[in-house]
Structure 1
Amino acid sequence: MATGTKNAKSQKLQARAPHDVIEEMEALKEPGESTAQFIVTSLQGEIKRRQRQKKQETPKG
């Protein structure tokens, strides 16, 4: 039975990416690493980077 785009553990996303970005991703994926694993790892890294950046921008006082 097919499931929807969201379940208890994950959510399906769709996005278009430029060909050159896809080619770079394919060239840099680790052996045995799926595209989904690469994208999730990349998203996690970008989220952490932006959280750190936002924290640094918050004035202390």
Structure 2
Amino acid sequence: MPPEAASVFGYEKRQVSSPWSAQVPHEIAEAVETLKENDESTGQFVVSALEHEIKRRQRKKAKESSEK
């Protein structure tokens, strides 16, 4: 559907995710394969790890800001 048609129907088509590509050291790739759950994809593992790291850094930043 062309973008102008989507706006006529009252919604916009939005991208749910962004494809990424990255080079990963062999040791990290091996650890991911060893540690991910049986029913978990590599993508799910990576997204979960990124979410946890983002939250950790946000907490750290908030703590540093409150200490000033």
Q: Which band: TM-score by shorter chain? A: 0.7 to 0.9
Runs of 4+ in 1 over 3 A off after TM superposition: none
TM-score with structure 2 setting the length: 0.75
Structure 1: runs of 5 or more not aligned: 1-6
Matched position secondary structure for 1:58: helix
Structure 2: runs of 5 or more not aligned: 1-13
Percent of matched pairs sharing the same residue: 45
Cα RMSD for the two superposed structures? 1.5
Q: Deviations over 1:7-60 (max 9, x none)?
A: 610000010010001000100000110000000000000000000000010045
Structure 2 match to 1:55: 62
1:22 matched to 2:29: yes
Structure with higher Rg: it is 2
Count of paired positions: 55
